[in-house]
Amino acid sequence: MPDQLTPLLLVGTGAMSAAYAKVLKALGQPFLAAGRGTERAEAFAREWGIETGHGPLPEQLSRFNTVPETAIVAVSATNLAEAAEQLIKAGVRRLLVEKPVALNQADAETLDLVAKNAGAEVYVAYNRRFYASVEAARKIIDADGGVLSFKFDFTEARTRIEALDKDPAELEGWLFGNSTHVIDLAFFLGGHPNTIVAQSRCGLGWHPAGAIFTGCGTTDTGADFSYHSNWLAPGRWGVEVMTAKSRLILQPMEQLFLQNQQSFAVEAVAIDDNLDKEFKPGLYRQTEAFLSGNTDLRLMSLSTQAEAFKNYTVIRDGNRSNFEGENRS
């Protein structure tokens, strides 16, 4: 782990930042925080016993004699790319930025270019990659000889989302900002998609790109995949992976269930998930991997995320022209 006497800068003072603060305290990593509003920043400082600034981020950065080398960015989805760029330009050289890092491919690619030009390492925080259930699934997949096929469902709870007080831009980018937790995990386990045939329809007022998403394709590991997500109907997130010996079910994704070749029974797999119960699931291992300074394959690079936006966009918008305009509002 890097020099523990060097403080890390945690950008944001909301619920996600509090989850990171709990992990950083447990890891013994000194940190400072930067918020926006005075009241929330002062409350955050009292809760965690740390120095917490407030106001525009560039002004806070300008007050440092030496800008921290490392930062975790946990602000709202609409402000992630801007905050990350400000940090890079101020001299921060290692960043862990909450997903999706940007709300469109162009902004992700622009940030990636800024990072490369500055020589900064930027990773995108997809904490579900670090679940104990996912790690157990990966071991079984390897033992079984790899993934043959997989399917996933990123159905969102529409009525709950509509009750939230969210920025319209964040709602319009909801698939990028939230649903990609599932999409990323599915492709993390099953391989990078080579082909996708996608359909999207029944757009919502706050998410005009669609509410029903179906599709299929193949990945670079030779696996076939399909997905079906319907935001108008009840449902929940889930990923299922099929190997020659097992059907692995992550639904809910914090747990792992298995059906083997000789049985119809679906049984829970025992996992060591103590850290996922004590902290926000996946966050301890993810933060630990980032702070280690080593390249952990579970950490997604910004360049990979910028490229992945192409697939996210196809899934969101569809690529079958005969469905364009059908039932969209």
Above 60 in pLDDT, residue 320?
no
How confident is residue 296, by pLDDT bands cut at 50, 70 and 90? Answer: confident
**pLDDT (tens digit, 9 = 90+) per residue, 8-27?**
999 999 999 999 999 999 99
pLDDT at 1 over 90: no
pLDDT at 257: 98
Q: CATH homologous superfamily of domain 131-273+302-323? A: Dihydrodipicolinate Reductase; domain 2 (3.30.360.10)
Distances in Å between the Cα of 84 and the Cα atoms of 169, 229, 285 are: 18, 31, 22
**Could you tell me the pTM of the whole model?**
0.92
Q: What is the pLDDT of residues 61-116, one digit of tens each?
A: 999 999 999 999 999 999 999 999 999 999 999 999 999 999 999 999 999 999 99
Q: What is the pLDDT of residue 6?
A: 80
Distance CA 20, CA 304 (A): 23
Retrieve residue 308's tokens. 């992945």
Average pLDDT in the chain: 94
How much is the average pLDDT of 278-291? 97
Spell out a b/e string for 254-287, using b for 16 or more CB atoms within 10 Å of the CB, else e: bbbbbbeeeeeeeeeeebebebbeebbbbbbbbb
Q: What digits encode the pLDDT tens for the residues 185-224?
A: 999 999 999 999 999 999 999 999 999 999 999 999 999 9
Rounded Cα distance, 94 and 121, in Å: 5
Could you tell me the fold of the domain covering 8-125?
A: Rossmann fold (3.40.50)
Percent of the chain's residues with pLDDT above 70? 95
Q: What pLDDT does residue 326 have?
A: 40
pLDDT at 294: 76
Q: List the domain boundaries for the chain.
A: 8-125, 131-273+302-323
Task: State the average pLDDT over residues 238-263.
Answer: 97
Question: For residue 321, is pLDDT > 90?
Answer: no
